[in-house]
Chains A and B, each alone.
Chain A
Amino acid sequence: MRWARFLSNYGMLAVLLLLAGFFSVVTLRDQHPSGAAAARGLLAGPAGARLQSAQGTILIAVRGASHADQAFAGELHDRLGAQGVRVRSARGDPRSVRAALEELADDGTGPPAAIAAAHAYAPLVRSVLAEEEAWRHVPVLTPPAYRWPTFLLPENLFNVANQIAVIAILAIGMTMVIITGGIDLSVGSLIALSAVLVAGLVGHWGGAAAGTGAMLAAGAGAVLLCGIVGLFSGAMITGFRVPPFIATLGMMQVASGLAYILSQGKPIYRLPESFVTLGRGADPLVGIPYAVLLMLALYALAHLVMSRTPLGRYVYAVGGNPEAARLAGVRVKGVLLLVYALNSMLAGLGGVVMASQLKSGAPTYGLMYELYVIAAVVVGGTSLSGGEGRIFGTLIGAFIIAVIQNGMNLTNVESYTQKVVLGFVILGAVLLDRLRHGAWFWRRRPRRRPPEPRGSDVIR
């Protein structure tokens, strides 16, 4: 019994960890560090002593002006300088290395004691050295490689989270809708409508020159307009008792059509550079993408709402048994309206994030996303019959889908095969759900001594 409860609460988390473990093992590769960490690794590694006690000049060769290259050169420069070692830097393409070497030869210093370069740049540096007899013996030192799974690199993990952020944000609302016993097929189209709306509004309020205020207003406008679409679906469902499947199937067409009409069928590109901050930016401290932070904040809020507020309780109650909820004084129709509106607003927010990620708004966005969103909810353990489900289960479900896709990309599984695998994963998740709801029930061996019957009506 206890195991069953544990499995039902954390079973999918175990699946997620197993998947992560599996992809970690199969993507275990030689990793080459970059940035300041690479400089420290180089100094701490076997070549460190040679660099720090060098008699001649040390040349630091970096390819470009990227953040990582700058950090590598800067860190190495500072550390060696502090040791009293003479250091020169060559920044740019291999020609800058040649220029630096010639300069050293011209001012009479002669060839450097060693050249420090990143792993990827070393072959080019070596080819420069091969050009002159005098330089052939100059060693090129690179930071030591280490074994680490590509899957577990922070960049990759942030990438996984960033790619699933839109689906995961939508899945919050979908979880609530499914807990009420409904379904919403219109969310994929709402992504497109919202992306077109936000891009169009920004275009209207200044285009490429729009300011932050205009962009925030455009985002809020898009989310609110999507909320009105959701209210309309909710009104059809509560007021006219149209089945949610049908009502939202209709709204799916309506929203998609509106997106095409508003954008005249073309993507909207005229957006300011800063428009991508939400979708591509990351916090300066750890490097977590803003979209992921937004997603995590929404999940935390949704979890609290569902477990600690009357609204959350009512959502479960309405899904469990609408008539019993009504007779207990719950405003069933009001709850349903609110849930559909919230769900559509979250879909609108997902559309804004997507427009920001892609720096454009097009009516083709979000195609089939409703199915991925529903899959995330179902994989996360929410039952389509309503009345039960957990918000964090959905987050786990979304991550399972994202990890499988990312892992298969890393291991070069082609996309058609990925679809087949993903389909079976969804079926497997539902099967697991079925198993925990009943199948284990019959396999129990009988107990010899009857336990105290619990909650029996017998008076003792």
Chain B
Amino acid sequence: MRVKRDQPLLSVTGVDKAFPGVQALCGATLAVRAGEIHALVGENGAGKSTLIKIVSGALAPDCGTLACRGRVCALRCPGDATRAGIATIHQEFNLVASLSVRENVFLGRERRRGAWIDRAAERRATRRQLAELEAPIDPEAPVRTLDVAQQQLVEIARALLARARLLIMDEPTAALTPREVTRLFALLRDLRARGHGILFVSHRLDEVLALADRVSVMRDGVTLGTWPRAALTREQLIERMVGRPLDQEFPKAPAPRGAVLLETRALSGPGVHGVTLQARAGEVLGIAGLVGAGRTELVRLLFGAERATAGEIRLAGRPLRLRAPRDAIRRGLCLLTEDRQQQGLLLKLSVRENFALPNLAHWTRAGWIDRRAEGAALARYVARLRIRLAGWEEPAAHLSGGNQQKLLVARWLEQDARVLIFDEPTRGIDVGAKHEMYLLLNELAARGKAIVMISSELPEVLGMSDRVLVMRGGRIAGEVTEVAAATQEQLLSMAVHG
């Protein structure tokens, strides 16, 4: 099954797909060649995920044609796509955690000898494939024991053993450390050299520009076009995604600093060792560090989601004793979690209920909720934060990422929080909504809130913070007070070497 270089592996023409109330795709077009890394970019809701689902056989298009290696083909189910040489590696891996690497790699395509599974042959093939990927993973290890990067390699091995020629990777770097990203990119370039086609979907434009040979941009369900990477600058790419020129990526507006609001002394807890920090009113305190450096663990301690083992937390000069998150909430401290879908919102509940959850006492009279007062409060924030929604009774799951984030901000503003902790405030939200999020951070700081912002995106930390703490191994590894003069390399070296 040799495929010649530059031969189209997959071409999609004029594909439409509608969901109730949304036209997700409207004449989408895409062509991926053998031996290229093809990036697909676009804002959330631009139709990237729908397009991927269609080419991986998970969704049927309403109309349009798909051609695999020049021949028109119908992908009615994921199995059809596999047979056509297309493998998709989703952001959430499709692995069974309790089964071994080998069992996962051959799941659904077991090697047989008579009625029995030929485990020896499977093990040999898995080991050979993993060696080819330079991944020292034991084929019999349960997938549960592997880290994210290793699981990704298992997915890639699975795809290659199924003889995939086209690998579709959806946000493959979202959960990887910088070093793992570098390794993954080397691997993808190697696969490209061997004639595989790779469709790379990412929000991280730097990675797209570093890795891709060609870039396709989608907006509002339409493919705007495909350009060679060399023909695009970062700014041009953003402009095409957003549909308007972007004035300034980080619109930082410094606010007057006030008194120290949040303060910790030698705070320790699970994954955090002796952290001392201060955050002032009107200040955005950035916290940088690699994944696993203890940043999320630190803010969970500050919020009372975990118990501190030593040290103390002070809020506006008074000691803060936390047994549960509600103690922190009562004192005016709030946490906007990294994972909005799992830890922030109640997706099945309505916008109104999500907004009201910690604030019900504000509108409860003699045990009954005054729904009119509740609605009036929500209406104020919807207008002030420009939250776009179809109605208050709409499930929170229907909102886009940016609006979900705003809804959570509204919830905590109603709580009259003085300290807002944002864990990855712009993760998973698109370029336009990021901009609004930054303006909101400015506004909150200007209103005298203290803001603690964790971010894995170094440009964002440098662009939006007044001061940056870098964490490593659960400790503060360094502090940058002159943010304007600092560089990403400086932060990274603190994060890696301390």
A residues at B contact (CB < 8 Å): 1, 304, 308-310, 313-314, 316-317, 320-321, 323-331, 387-388, 441, 444-447, 449-451, 453-459
User: Does B424 interact with chain A (Cβ within 8 Å)?
Assistant: no
Contact: B432 with A324, CB < 8 Å?
A: no
User: Does B254 interact with chain A (Cβ within 8 Å)?
Assistant: no
Knowing A324-B346, A455-B389, A457-B432, the reply to whether A330 touches B326 (Cβ < 8 A) is: yes
User: Does B385 interact with chain A (Cβ within 8 Å)?
Assistant: no
User: Does B236 interact with chain A (Cβ within 8 Å)?
Assistant: no
Contact: A323 with B221, CB < 8 Å?
A: no
Report which of A313, A446, A454 forms a contact with B353, defined as CB distance below 8 A: A313
User: Does B420 interact with chain A (Cβ within 8 Å)?
Assistant: no
Q: Min CB distance, B420 to chain A, in Å?
A: 14
User: Does B253 interact with chain A (Cβ within 8 Å)?
Assistant: no
Report which of B305, B371, B402 forms a contact with A308, defined as CB distance below 8 A: B371
Closest to B303 in A: A327
User: Does B220 interact with chain A (Cβ within 8 Å)?
Assistant: yes
Residues of A with C-beta under 8 A to B305? 326-327
Q: Min CB distance, A8 to chain B, in Å?
A: 12
Q: Min CB distance, A166 to chain B, in Å?
A: 28
Residues of A with C-beta under 8 A to B324? 326, 329, 331
Q: Min CB distance, B464 to chain A, in Å?
A: 18
Contact: A316 with B346, CB < 8 Å?
A: yes
Contact: B63 with A446, CB < 8 Å?
A: yes
Q: Min CB distance, B167 to chain A, in Å?
A: 27
Residues of A with C-beta under 8 A to B26? 450
Measured CA separation A441–B22 after assembly (Å):
12
Residues of A with C-beta under 8 A to B116? none
Residues of B with C-beta under 8 A to A323? 342-343
Contact: B18 with A447, CB < 8 Å?
A: yes
Residues of A with C-beta under 8 A to B79? none
Contact: A324 with B19, CB < 8 Å?
A: no
Report which of B342, B358, B361 forms a contact with A321, defined as CB distance below 8 A: B342
Knowing A316-B349, A321-B342, the reply to whether A331 touches B326 (Cβ < 8 A) is: yes
User: Does B145 interact with chain A (Cβ within 8 Å)?
Assistant: no
Contact: A459 with B346, CB < 8 Å?
A: no
Report which of B20, B368, B400 forms a contact with A1, defined as CB distance below 8 A: B20
User: Does B344 interact with chain A (Cβ within 8 Å)?
Assistant: yes
Measured CA separation A325–B326 after assembly (Å):
10
Q: Min CB distance, A128 to chain B, in Å?
A: 66
Report which of A304, A308, A446, A459 forms a contact with B436, defined as CB distance below 8 A: A459
Measured CA separation A444–B19 after assembly (Å):
7
A313-B360, A314-B357, A328-B357 known, 7 other contacts, Cβ within 8 Å: A309-B367, A310-B364, A327-B325, A446-B23, A449-B23, A458-B242, A458-B432
Residues 6-33 of chain B, each 1 if its beta carbon lies under 8 Å from chain A, else 0: 0000000000111111110010000000
Residues of A with C-beta under 8 A to B82? none
Contact: A459 with B369, CB < 8 Å?
A: no
Contact: A324 with B342, CB < 8 Å?
A: yes
Knowing A309-B367, A313-B369, the reply to whether A456 touches B388 (Cβ < 8 A) is: yes
Measured CA separation A457–B219 after assembly (Å):
12
Measured CA separation A446–B324 after assembly (Å):
49
Residues of A with C-beta under 8 A to B371? 308
Measured CA separation A331–B304 after assembly (Å):
13
Report which of A316, A450, A456 forms a contact with B23, defined as CB distance below 8 A: A450
Closest to A440 in B: B20
Contact: B369 with A455, CB < 8 Å?
A: no
Residues of A with C-beta under 8 A to B348? 316, 320, 387-388
Residues of A with C-beta under 8 A to B243? 458
Contact: B358 with A456, CB < 8 Å?
A: no
Q: Which of A320, A387, A453, A457 has the most CB of B within 10 A?
A: A457
Residues of A with C-beta under 8 A to B398? 454-455
Contact: A329 with B347, CB < 8 Å?
A: no
User: Does B329 interact with chain A (Cβ within 8 Å)?
Assistant: yes
Measured CA separation A330–B343 after assembly (Å):
13
Residues of B with C-beta under 8 A to A331? 324, 326
Q: Which of A304, A316, A441 has the most CB of B within 10 A?
A: A316
Contact: A457 with B400, CB < 8 Å?
A: yes
Contact: B369 with A330, CB < 8 Å?
A: no
Residues of B with C-beta under 8 A to A321? 342-343, 345-347
Residues of A with C-beta under 8 A to B43? 457-458
Contact: B343 with A324, CB < 8 Å?
A: yes
User: Does B390 interact with chain A (Cβ within 8 Å)?
Assistant: yes
Contact: B44 with A457, CB < 8 Å?
A: yes
Residues of B with C-beta under 8 A to A329? 324-326, 329-330, 357-358
User: Does B170 interact with chain A (Cβ within 8 Å)?
Assistant: no
Q: Min CB distance, B99 to chain A, in Å?
A: 23
Contact: B221 with A455, CB < 8 Å?
A: no
Q: Min CB distance, B9 to chain A, in Å?
A: 27
Residues of B with C-beta under 8 A to A441? 19-20
Contact: B360 with A310, CB < 8 Å?
A: yes
Contact: B220 with A450, CB < 8 Å?
A: yes
Contact: A324 with B345, CB < 8 Å?
A: yes
Residues 299-321 of chain B, each 1 if its beta carbon lies under 8 Å from chain A, else 0: 00001010000000000000000
Report which of A308, A320, A459 forms a contact with B432, defined as CB distance below 8 A: A459
Measured CA separation A387–B395 after assembly (Å):
12
Residues of A with C-beta under 8 A to B356? 313
Report which of A326, A330, A453, A454 forms a contact with B220, defined as CB distance below 8 A: A453
Q: Min CB distance, B67 to chain A, in Å?
A: 21
Closest to B63 in A: A446
Residues of B with C-beta under 8 A to A459? 242, 244, 432-433, 435-436
Knowing A326-B305, A450-B220, the reply to whether A457 touches B45 (Cβ < 8 A) is: yes
Contact: B21 with A309, CB < 8 Å?
A: no
B 333-379 contacts with A by CB, 8 A: 335, 337, 342-349, 353, 356-358, 360-361, 364, 367-369, 371
